[in-house]
Each structure stands twice: as C-alpha cells, then as structure tokens.
Amino acid sequence: MQLILASTSPYRRELLGRLRLPFDTARPEADEAALPGETPAALAGRLALLKADVVAATHPDAWVIGSDQVAELDGAPLGKPGHRQAAIAQLGAMSGREVHFRTAVALTGPGNPTRMVLDTTTVRFRSLTADEISRYVDAEQPFDCAGSFKAEALGITLFESIHSTDPTALVGLPLIATARLLREAGFLLP
C-alpha cells in the first residue's frame, strides 16, 4: 500500500520516519487561512482533513496522512511567526502563560472514510526576559514553527511544564494516534 505524507515539513517527515514504513511526501496546495469564528481546534482539524483530501485527489490509490498544528493563546490562534520580530512578539505574549497546541492528524485511503484525531498538548511557559527571548530566537530561528519554538531542541528550556498524552504531538505529528490509524487501515506495525 502506498503511503503519502501530505506535508513538506521536515519535522513531520522525521516523525513519520520513526514508524519505519515506506512513504512519499507531497505538498498540499491548500489555503490555510482560518475561517471567520473558527476555533483553533476546528482550524487544525479542518486543515488536516483538507491537506489529506487535496493530496488524495491526485493520488486516488494511495493512503494519505494530513496533519496540522495550531497554537492557541486565550482562545485565539497563533500562526507560524515567519520572521524574527513576530517570533519575539509571540514568545513575549506566551511568557508565564499556558498555551494549548491543537495537533490534528487525518488519514484517508482508497474507498475508505477519512479518519481524524485531535491531540491537545498544554505548555506552561516560564517567565521569560526580553534578553532570553532574543537569545533563543537568534539561536534557533524558529520562524516556521507554530508558537515560535522547537521543543525537540533548545526550545525545551522555555517551559515550566508540558502536559500531553503524546510527546510527539508538540513537534507536529502525534505518532500514537497516527500509528493507531495506520494499524486500523491495515498497515503492519509492531
């Protein structure tokens, strides 16, 4: 069975590679803008489904995984910062606060209904000084990461705690849920 990851994210590619299944990647051409009034959880779920469906439309005989993550602060979504000043502003806003990371994964396959799972990870940031934030941003340049940090690297130093049912979800692909969806679809995993 052909498996395609509907993402060009190096973080998701590395995570899916841990399952030791052969897979390809494809860029999902999808508008990722939030809809009016859409919650961060709904946005993550909709985009995971959309990415899977877009790639599946051009690969009808393949199984396709779509995933998306949205950081949520005070009920509002935080996107990828894109540049240094936005990353500094995001981390400043999250300093001393709890942030929820909504990570959705969807699996669609030939003749099968699409299945989707949503994981929530709660991160408590420690109180950060402006100098700490600047040093971190300059060291890792996390401009392509929701929430402006890389938890798998130096970003872990920004936290007081992480509460999660899946430690890989915060990096961008909840492998516990992904493995379950793949087993249900007939992929052979331990």
Q: What does the DSSP assignment read for 72-113?
A: EETTEEE----SHHHHHHHHHHHTTSEEEEEEEEEEEETTEE
Do 49 and 181 meet the contact criterion of CB atoms below 8 Å apart?
no
Query: Given 31, 53, 61, 68, which residue is catalytic?
Result: 68
Taking the C-alpha atoms of 46, 52, 58 and 60 in order, what is their torsion angle to the nearest 10 degrees?
-120
Beta strands 63-73 and 159-163 are unpaired
Please say if 68 is a catalytic residue. yes
User: Torsion-angle region of residue 179: left (phi > 0), alpha (psi -120 to 50) or beta?
Assistant: alpha
Q: Which residues are catalytic?
A: 68
